[in-house]
Amino acid sequence: MKALILNYGVGNIFSVSSALKRVGFNVVIDVIPKYEYDLLVLPGVGSFNALKKYFEEYGEEIKNVMLGGTPTLGICLGMQALFEYSEECGGCKGLGILKGFIGRLATHRKLPHIGWDRIYLVKWSDVCELFHDLHKEYAYFAHSYAVYPETLDYVCMVSVYDAIFPAAVGYQNIIGTQFHVEKSGYISKKFFEVLARWVKR
């Protein structure tokens, strides 16, 4: 299996690459989205503003690859990028694959939200099944902004940081995690093993 990690100038690329290699992927890191891969990965550490210029150049190509059926994983910022726009950078556009926007996490607690919190499976579907074994486990978060989806139909998991927010989404060939699944200890192994089986299906 071949995985393409998009290098758009942000993201914990090394950790994601290592996690994918451990479950059998051959990993390529490139700026340009391409069709000939079994998995497309949008990594995520950094500000949404960092994606603005990249999406102006490659956004339509990424969407075409995803809408063409390539299994896609978005992590943290990469999950947020799946939605229409982000208030973090004054309303700059995301990919718009999923309806909704990115806004500041609705909490009275200190931001950014950094640390370990439980994640809860709230929807069962073919794609949300990837997260079944992670229900009530602890995952690692590092973010100040969260997804405000137009519909809950594709919200697979939630977590709580004073307020409830989407922790993972799933829609057809697309999955996303607000938590850093590549940094989440032993559940990382669980998740990436299931991911590999999902890609092979």
Distance of alpha carbon 193 from alpha carbon 62, whole angstroms: 25
Torsions phi, psi for 174 (to 5 deg):
-125, 130
**Which residue out of 84, 108, 182, 193 is catalytically annotated?**
182
- Extract the tokens encoding 173: 């060939």
Cα–Cα distance list, 33 to 28, 101, 184 (Å): 11, 23, 27
- Extract the tokens encoding 106: 């609705």
According to DSSP, the β-strands at 155-161 and 120-121 are antiparallel
Is 182 a catalytic site residue?
yes
Distance of alpha carbon 91 from alpha carbon 102, whole angstroms: 9
Is 76 a catalytic site residue?
yes
Who contacts 129 (Cβ-Cβ below 8 Å, separation ≥6)?
Answer: none
CA 42 to chain centre: 7
Is 180 a catalytic site residue?
yes
**Which residue out of 76, 113, 143, 156 is catalytically annotated?**
76
Q: How many beta carbons lie within 10 A of that of residue 58, not counting itself?
A: 17
**Do the beta carbons of residue 8 and residue 81 sit within 8 Å?**
no
Residues annotated catalytic, as ranges: 76, 180, 182
